[in-house]
Amino acid sequence: MNTKNMNSRREFFKNILGLTGFALLAPALLSSTSKAEEQRRAAKPAAGGGATEELVVPGKDIAGSLGYMHKSNQAGKNCAGCMLYAAAGKKNGEDVGKCTVMPGKLVKATGYCNSWAKKV
């Protein structure tokens, strides 16, 4: 046999062994990734469960500049009816949610600020 045929044969078998090994290991690698994802999701509180973030403090930081208050004094206008609000559960027995203009904090569903925009 000539050297060229031997080299191409060796390459062929190396490639077959490599692909076989990958085919055997791929399910194990993929399942460990999905298990890690499941564990990460399980560590987060479920929507509607106890909200863990802190409530916005009226008059402080961005809440102050937006005129945020925990209880709306505007008829028919509150955070629950705002398009910037997403319900997140309950805190201290009251409905709370996340507001896109006050990231990292929770606002009360009964609250109001100057950025209020009617939910459509």
- pLDDT tens digits, residue range 66-113? 999 999 999 999 999 999 999 999 999 999 999 999 999 999 999 999
The pTM of this model reads: 0.58
**DSSP H or E segment with residue 10:** helix 3-43
Residues 87 and 81: their CA atoms lie apart, in Å, by: 11
Nearest to residue 77, comparing CAs of 37, 30, 31, 116?
116
Interval 28-56: pLDDT, tens: 666 655 555 666 655 555 444 456 789 99
